[in-house]
Each structure stands twice: as C-alpha cells, then as structure tokens.
Amino acid sequence: MAARAGEMLQEWSLALDQGLKLSHMAESLHIYPTYSLASQQLASKLKVDQLLSGAMGKFVKKYARQLRWGKHLR
C-alpha cells in the first residue's frame, strides 16, 4: 500500500474491531507517535469537518467570528 502502512493499519483495524468512533481515535494518546499519528490527525480532521458542516457548523462558525471580533474590541 505505502511505506509504513503497517503502522497505520493496526490502528484502523483495532478501531473497526472495537467499533470505535472517530472521536475516540482523535482523542487517543500515542505514547510513541510514529506514522500511526497520521491516523489520529485524519480522525481529528474528519471530526472537525463534521462539526463545521450543516446547521451546527453555521452556528459554530458564527460564534467563532463573534469571539474573534470581541477580542478586537477589548
């Protein structure tokens, strides 16, 4: 598949076997991060993309803009 694919496949295999959600993978702690960290970063990105889509995403983006704007006023 790719260089170091074995390091990444173990994590995805475990997630599938245990029925883990992307949020579980995104929050996991890698004691000795290697190429498997790419799986965690992908899970985090997918979770953020999911959060920022749809109605909830519009709310989050609007709230974030208001927070940034409020910091400029202080």
| pLDDT tens digits, one per residue of 4-37 | 777 778 888 888 999 998 888 888 887 777 777 7
For the four alpha carbons of 56, 58, 59 and 63, in that order, the dihedral sign comes to: positive
Task: Specify whether the CB–CB gap between 47 and 22 falls below 8 A.
Answer: yes
Q: Count Cβ atoms within 10 A of the Cβ of residue 69 and give its class: 0-12 exposed, 13-18 middle, 19 or more buried.
A: exposed
pTM summary value:
0.50
pLDDT recorded at residue 72: 57
Q: Nearest 10 degrees: CA dihedral of 57, 63, 66, 71?
A: -110
Least confident stretch, 7-11, 16-20, 42-46, 57-61:
7-11
Lowest mean pLDDT among 16-20, 28-32, 39-43, 65-69: 28-32
Domain boundaries, the chain: 5-73
CA distance 42 to 4: 16
